Amino acid sequence: MYIKKIFYGACIYLLINIIAPSTSFADFTGKYCELEGARTSSGERVRGECYFYSDEYGELEGARTSSGEKVRGECYRYSDEYAELEGARTSSGERVRGECYIY
């Protein structure tokens, strides 16, 4: 009876700690994401990429509005596939919102 409890306890431990975790163990440092649906507050389209300097945060690279104005800011990864812009602004100070798809 005691051995049976130990066996079941070990099985439960394995299920919880090895098989069950559904969170990603990937490190996103060094990866890129491409802006999708990013727009300025006036509606101008923004294109570019975000480079992840850590597992969760990245910095915009080569991001520009359709008229060519530079955009600076960061992106925050909230899933294994997408990140959202944080504190992104054009060089004239206009706010930029949107997401980017991690590839």
> What are φ and ψ of residue 14, in 5° steps?
-65, -45
Q: Does some domain include residue 26?
A: no
Note whether residue 27 is domain-resident: no
pLDDT tens for 59-82 read 999 999 999 999 999 999 999 999
Residue 10 lies in a domain: no
Does 38 fall in a domain? yes
Residue 78 lies in a domain: yes
- Three-class SS of residue 38? strand
Give how far Cα 78 sits from Cα of 45, 62, 74, 84, Å: 22, 22, 13, 7
For the segment 5-61, what is each residue's pLDDT rounded down to a tens digit?
Answer: 555 555 565 545 554 444 457 899 999 999 999 999 999 999 999 999 999 999 999
Q: How many domains does the chain have?
A: 1
Residue 51 lies in a domain: yes
In a domain, 66, yes or no: yes
